[in-house]
Amino acid sequence: MSDFDQWRELAQQFRVDSIRTSSAASSGHPTSSLSAADLMAVLMAKHLHYDFDEPENPNNDHLIFSKGHASPLLYAMYRAAGVIDDEELMTYRQLGSRLQGHPVPRALPYVDVATGSLGQGLPIGVGIALAAKQLDYLPYRVWVLCGDSEMTEGSMWEAFEHAGHFGLDNLTAIIDVNRLGQRGFTMHQWDVDAFAKPAEAFGWRTIVIDGHDVQAIDDAYSEAVGTPSSPTVIIAKTIKGKGVTEVEDRNEAHGKPVKDAETAIKELGGESNIAVQVSKPVTDQAPHTFEVAGAEIPTFKVGEEVATRKAYGQALTALGSNRGDVVCLDGEISNSTHAEIFTKAHPERYFEMYIAEQLMVAAAVGVQVRGWVPYASTFAAFMSRAYDFIRMAAISGADLNLCGSHAGVSIGEDGPSQMGLEDIAMFRAVYGSTVLHPSDANQTAQLVWQMADLEGVRYLRTARPALPVIYEPDEQFEVGGSYVARRSDDDKVAIVAAGVCVHEALEAAETLAGEGLNARVIDAYSIKPIDAATLREAAQDTGGRLITVEDHWPEGGLGDAVLDALAESELTLRVVKMAVRKMPGSGPSKDLIKDAGIDAESIADAARKLAETEG
């Protein structure tokens, strides 16, 4: 039997298993799997290099199903590789099964990242390919199976543009052009030029093939591997539901199990048990490591005016001098986020992602797949563009550090389009996330260094204005803690703040003290996890009188984090939430803070009124 015949039989087995799994689950996407079966059969049998006995092998190729709904096909491949058996295959989509509806790395070590939200696999693949060429210095390849429907996502074209710019010749995108989406025809149907021409313009090698011709598929993969200096996209014209009369090229069949599975399986040739010996990695090299000179955490003098965004850049640079696994990405504003300091010190570990926040976060996810520790920065407001990538990173169990600068109305004259006023709420809602908002440079530096060893999505919120350093360098700021910046034995109210609002709170407390009214000031720099014990103590000591102050909308920010922490308290609470409650405009920072009602004078007024209430 020729290789071609063997590949055709393997593809039929993939089709049969895709029908069997989805029929057992009474849900799934078998037709999306059937169209790509030939493409994956040839890849797995000849071109993929992967040691399934050692999924952590740094030389393994990476296969990403950007069209994650075709998971029945992926799991059929795993059965052929012998890493799941037929009994497990039939647990597809059942509670507790590793074979979830869309692939998840928490469940299977062969899956790099969670997919299923379309438009993400190829951008993440760019990050992995960048890691191979510029960090690991290893020849592994990245293969990404894409759906034609998801090619309308802008993130896919961000990936095409950047991969071409970086010359990622170790990256191959395979577009399954089956012309049918969820509710009908895709935008371009079988117009392959609609994919080929823009890809060529972005510097990709384009190969158009019949996606069911195994010889053409083999030739295309060989050409992709042999193409230097540019990534390759294989545009494969396919038929959705290929091989099953009931669903082949039919609009209404998407996302549903085949009604007559028995007949469909018989039509495909019946069940089989072909095993595939996937080729091992082409080398056994160790990944590259970067030598570092070592550095101490930067420190700043009390009273010195330093923006927390600048402290971020300095602390990250020092961290990079201390740890060779730290990598920096930025969205073309490194002179504002101050990531540029890292860029100059460690250019070999810096990636300029330009104005493409979705791709920046996706690339950071890809880089961490290979064990690197990414820090990615842009304005806090622009993180919202990448939110779907951030929440999917949490599903992937990804470890990455994100820094949003220029948060809140305190940025001043640039106005509301640049003001991150939703970011705390956004990141608090991410599963397993850490949310930090330092108030001075020494605090910032310590938190930047601690972030590197945390798990999950870590977010640091920094501000634009240069404000006085208020803490000595030897003060300790642990994630999950807070700092009581002012207290007495007779505090009538407690003011809980973070970031620039800590400075306003301290000024308000000083004014109130001159009037004989003592106010405790808690710097809640760790918003998630929050220091509930210190908050409960403050509530107990002040008769439940708390004021929260934040340069953020009132929904989902610090105030809500405080209320959540005290939700089960038996104390009677009187909480005043001070936040930005009207649409800001342009103006000097201090004027905008005052106009928003989160300045020292407004805080003092609120404290006076609250102190008059019964404890």
Six-digit token pair at 186?
């895709």
Helices 357-369, 154-166: axis angle to 10 degrees equals 60
Residue 567: exposure state from Cβ atoms within 10 A (0-12, 13-18, ≥19):
exposed
Secondary structure in 3-state letters for 221-233: HHHHHCCCCCCEE
Q: Which residues of 55-81 are buried (b: 16+ CB within 10 A; e: fewer)?
A: eebbbbbbbbbbbbbbbbbbbbbbbbb
Interacting residues of 266 by C-beta distance below 8 A, sequence separation 6+: none
Pick from 426, 294, 401: nearest CA to 337:
401
Cα torsion at 395, 397, 398, 404 (round to 10°)?
A: 60
| pTM as predicted | 0.97
Other CB atoms within a 10 A radius of the CB of residue 159 amount to: 34
Report d(CA 254, CA 35) in Å as an integer: 12
Report d(CA 42, CA 145) in Å as an integer: 13
Sign of the C-alpha dihedral, residues 2, 77, 19, 145?
A: negative
- Quickly name the fold that domain 3-267 has: Rossmann fold (3.40.50)
Report d(CA 121, CA 144) in Å as an integer: 7
Give me the count of residues in the chain: 615
Cα torsion at 261, 266, 269, 273 (round to 10°)?
A: 60
Which of 153, 357, 504, 550 is catalytic? The answer is 357
Cis peptide before 72 (omega within 30 of 0): no
- Same fold: 305-468 with 483-611: yes
Q: What CATH architecture applies to the domain 483-611?
A: 3-Layer(aba) Sandwich (3.40)
Pick from 273, 240, 269: nearest CA to 67:
240
- Would you call 475 a catalytic residue per the annotation? no
- Residue recorded with tokens 């070999």: 348
Task: Report pLDDT for 1.
Answer: 82
Interacting residues of 515 by C-beta distance below 8 A, sequence separation 6+: 608
Secondary structure in 3-state letters for 1-46: CCHHHHHHHHHHHHHHHHHHHHHHHCCCCHHHHHHCHHHHHHHHHH
Q: Secondary structure of the chain: what % helix, strand, coil (to 5)?
A: 40, 15, 45
At 81, phi and psi to the nearest 5? Answer: -80, -10
Q: Which residues of 301-314 are buried (b: 16+ CB within 10 A; e: fewer)?
A: eeeeebbbbbbbbb
Residue 276 near residue 81 (C-beta atoms within 8 A): yes
Report d(CA 85, CA 500) in Å as an integer: 57
Along the chain (615 residues), what's the average pLDDT of each consecutive run of 10 residues? Answer: 94 98 95 97 98 98 97 98 97 96 94 97 98 98 97 97 98 97 90 96 98 98 96 98 94 91 96 97 96 96 98 98 98 96 97 97 98 98 98 98 98 96 98 98 98 98 97 97 97 98 98 97 98 97 97 98 93 94 97 98 98 77
Q: Where in the chain are the domains?
A: 3-267, 305-468, 483-611
Beta strands in 469-569 (DSSP E): 483-486, 493-497, 519-523, 526-528, 545-549
Residue 303 near residue 471 (C-beta atoms within 8 A): no
| Kind plus residue range of the DSSP H or E element containing 603 | helix 600-611
Alpha helix locations (H) across 92-192?
A: 121-131, 154-166
CATH number, domain 305-468: 3.40.50.970
Report d(CA 385, CA 436) in Å as an integer: 20
Residue 490 near residue 518 (C-beta atoms within 8 A): yes
Report d(CA 570, CA 584) in Å as an integer: 37
Pick from 13, 189, 172, 196: nearest CA to 89:
13
Other CB atoms within a 10 A radius of the CB of residue 436 amount to: 28
